Amino acid sequence: MGSNRKFVGKGCALPCHIKDHKQRGQWVELLFMARAAQYGLGVAKPLGDWEYYDAAVQHRGRFLSVQVKSVMYREHRSYQVNVIAGRNHRLYPTNRLDYFAIYLIPHDLWYIIPYSAIGRAHECITLAPDMKGHKYERYKEAWHLLFRTRTRKRRRIIVNSLQAPHQQAGVRLGR
């Protein structure tokens, strides 16, 4: 029986002939780390396979955990990407992962997607790089997201809670 899956490798900047998924995953992790370093981010790789992330990126002393995924085959006009943890086939636990970095091999294209945008609601997401306005379009090559730190949101909340009650309500006092 035929498959709707097609490899779109013509004109690909980085052709991939690695059949073994484990080897291909390691290759893509190296590509991610090289690209992150190219943007000036510090990169660390956890020792072993038991962590829920493949790499940590560092900017201004803050670390973010990143799970790297890749996809080679498309189905019709889109790519299906499993966003579940490897052998266990379970959703990633909350607060253990900050970002997914998903590499579309045939397009030489990265999606940098916050965990919170996928979260624990989906086991699989659909990426359609050629379709305008698709759900994850704003995360295409969104490397700038990795320059944000977790403390920004927290700091904003703390600052807001420390403001006087009249400032929180938007009331201006004249002098």
Per-residue pLDDT of the chain (175 residues; tens, 9 = 90+): 344 444 444 444 556 777 888 899 999 999 999 999 999 999 999 988 778 899 999 998 899 999 999 998 888 889 999 888 876 778 888 888 999 999 999 999 999 999 999 877 778 899 999 999 999 999 999 999 999 755 444 444 444 444 444 444 444 444 4
CB atoms within 10 A of CB 105: 24
Q: Name the strand (E) or helix (H) holding 113.
A: strand 109-114
Tell me the one-letter amino acid at 109.
L
| Residue 127 near residue 79, CB atoms below 8 Å | yes
pLDDT of residue 168: 47
d(CA 49, CA 85): 11
d(CA 72, CA 43): 25
How confident is the model at residue 157, as a pLDDT?
A: 42
Q: What is the pLDDT of residue 39?
A: 95
Instruction: Report pLDDT for 149.
Output: 58
Structure tokens that stand for 128 in this block: 């359609």
Structure confidence at residue 74 (pLDDT): 87
The pLDDT assigned to 103 comes to 97
Residue 32's pLDDT is: 98
Asked whether the beta carbons of 97 and 63 are under 8 A apart, the reply is no
- Rounded CA separation 70/111 (Å): 10
Give whole-number Cα distances, 171 to 57, 114, 163, 166, 167, in Å.
41, 35, 12, 5, 6
Nearest-angstrom CA–CA distance, 39 and 51: 24
Domains and CATH numbers, the chain: 5-148 (3.40.1350.10)
